[in-house]
Structure 1
Amino acid sequence: MRLALLGGSVEEKAFNTAVGRRIRETRIRAGLTQELLGRQAGLSRGSITNIESGTQAPPLYRLVRIAAALHVQPAELLPQLLPEEAVGLPPRYAADVASVWSDSENLKDTHGQG
């Protein structure tokens, strides 16, 4: 799935919603409740609910904690957005997306998966 970049707050909401959807889908596949995921990631169930609904954007460090609790790489929780497509995102998200994708690619190269 590609995320259409529209600009401004609509774009930010679409990105947050896509991240939340991926977290929810991964949580369900892992057989975790929102409460259990929250406990394992050091967050409240309410925060997990807000993140999954797209009303709260997790800072990068929380995204990493959520990914660890779900036993996935942080990049797996991001929408299928290529680094060059992140150019249209608000600067704080573009830098986070580029960083996570870069780290993910480095891990693949290190482990011979690339």
Structure 2
Amino acid sequence: MDEFYEAFGDRVRRARAALGVNQQELGNAVGLNRTSISNIEKGRQRIALHMLFEFAAALRVEPESLLPSPDGRSDVLDELPEDARGWAQDVLANAQKEEGRG
């Protein structure tokens, strides 16, 4: 379970950095202090389920993008910059549709 929260925290940290906000600004947006944001990003503090949506809204991402894979595998899209992920997901989805037709 600790690995799940560490991966979640890493996704929060990367989304925050991509947006160009600091921990204090994110904390203000979700109603937590900077120390809590730091602890969440390090996987030491867990969040309530409803906070997933608060974080996603503040970070301008889909809630699913903050959740790690249930089997612990890394998503290859995680390596892409946030602004390129949507495009890459569309390309993959279209490729899968074409593969299904062939």
State the TM bucket, normalised to the shorter chain.
0.5 to 0.7
TM-score (norm 1): 0.60
Please give the secondary structure, in 1, of the residue aligned with 2:61.
Answer: coil
Determine whether 1:78 maps to 2:64.
no
Structure-2 residue corresponding to 1:52: 41
TM-score (norm 2): 0.66
Amino acid at match of 1:55: R
Amino acid at match of 1:78: L
- Counterparts in 2 of 1:1-114, with a 5 A limit? 12-81=1-70, 85=71
Deviation for aligned residue 1:53: 0.3
Q: Percent identity between the aligned chains?
A: 43
Deviation for aligned residue 1:26: 0.5
Return 5+ residue gaps in structure 2 as ranges.
73-102
Cα RMSD, aligned residues only: 1.4
Counting matched residue pairs gives 72
Aligned-partner Cα distance in 2 for 1:70–1:47:
16
* Structure 1 runs (4+) greater than 6 angstroms displaced: none
Aligned-partner Cα distance in 2 for 1:42–1:62:
10
Deviation for aligned residue 1:62: 1.2
Aligned-partner Cα distance in 2 for 1:35–1:63:
18
Larger Rg: 2
Deviation for aligned residue 1:35: 0.2
Q: Deviations over 1:69-106 (max 9, x none)?
A: 0011111101133xxx59xxxxxxxxxxxxxxxxxxxx
